[in-house]
Amino acid sequence: MPGPPNKKQKRQDYRQALKENGTTNMPKKKFYRQRAHANPFSDHKLTYPIRPDCMDWSTFFPSFAADAQPNPLPQTSEDVKAISNPPPKKMTKDVEVVDIGCGFGGLLVALSPVMPDTLVVGMEIRSQVTEFVQDRIKALRAKDPEQKRFQNIGCIRANTMKFLPNFFRKGQLSKIFICFPDPHFKQRKHKARIVSTTLNSEYAYALKLGGIVYTITDVEDLHKWMVQHLEAHPSFERVSEEEQDADACVKVMRTETEEGKKVERNKGQKFVALFRRLEDPPW
């Protein structure tokens, strides 16, 4: 006779029931437990587009998908192949804002009403944390179907250190958020930090002219590292403190992420720095 289900089975049963019942109840974090960190250099089982125009964003933002056109009857073998592998649905808007390492989605949910006409996507490498955010967004949408709130936010499992250019065209983004990233304290682990000379070039590629990189951390050493590497990059200049304090997104970033709330409870410091995308110098 089988014994009672273990914790892993309970988590799986809970998530399966949540999907089948379509409940408006918020998902519970205890059923989505995972390690705090994931190795960005490991070969995770990830799905990603070979190039940005192959990405089907309609799965994450169905309210912003353009009306689908009926497929014509197939005439040739090429037509049959095209129908069996349809192109991604067209969108009425492009994704413009990315939260790298979005965690449990606090920033996404808070930004949704602040920029209701902008598509915001969270990218998270941990599978169960990604699933939690996706279920959280579904529940929020189901709670308020008439107002159509939270339709402009989504979450995808991705390793941005490897595949950011696979998702976004050159100059597509207006904002990139890097909130409370893993500090990787040991020097031999610094290569895994999400801000570096190489990665900053990828952020510059994806950001449009005047786009902003938002950074916040409670680790002063990491803050100095991010400032040093972004200031040294020719595509960025630091935003003044006056402009930074007037930015509505900074106020949200300081208070709405799970890590930010934890720092607040522990009465810790938060270090913020913003960097603007500059025009490329002439060749």
- pLDDT tens for 118-166 read 999 999 998 889 999 999 999 999 887 777 789 999 999 999 999 999 9
Number of domains forming the structure of the chain: 1
Instruction: Tell me, yes or no, whether 10 lies in a domain.
Output: no
Q: Is residue 110 part of a domain?
A: yes
SS3 readout for the chain: CCCCCCHHHHHHHHHHHHHHHCCCCCCCHHHCCCCCCCCCCCCCCCCCCCCHHHCCHHHCCHHHECCCCCCCCCCCHHHHHHHHCCCCCCECCCEEEEEECCCCCHHHHHHHHHCCCCEEEEEECCHHHHHHHHHHHHHHHHHCCCCCCCCCEEEEECCHHHHHHHHCCCCCEEEEEEECCCCCCCHHHHHHCCCCHHHHHHHHHHEEEEEEEEEEECCHHHHHHHHHHHHCCCCEEECCHHHHHHCHHHHHHHHHCHHHHHHHHCCCCCEEEEEEECCCCCC
Residue 20 falls inside a structural domain: no
54-97 pLDDT, tens digit each: 999 999 999 999 874 444 444 554 444 444 456 788 899 999 99
Q: What is the structure's pLDDT at 271?
A: 97
> Domain span at residue 184?
47-64+87-277
- Domain assignment of residue 14, yes or no: no
CATH number for position 180: 3.40.50.150
Q: What is the pTM assigned to this prediction?
A: 0.84
The answer to the question of residue 32 being in a domain is: no
Instruction: Answer whether residue 106 is part of any domain.
Output: yes
Task: Give the tens place of pLDDT for each residue, 268-279.
Answer: 999 999 999 999
Instruction: For residue 182, indicate whether it is catalytic.
Output: yes
pLDDT at 81: 42
Residue 2 lies in a domain: no
How large is the average pLDDT for residues 39-50? 78
What average pLDDT score do residues 19-27 get?
66
pLDDT at residue number 185: 86
In a domain, 138, yes or no: yes
* Catalytic residue from among 43, 67, 144, 182: 182
| Segment 200-247, tens digit of pLDDT | 999 999 999 999 999 999 999 999 999 999 999 999 999 999 999 999
pLDDT at 17: 61
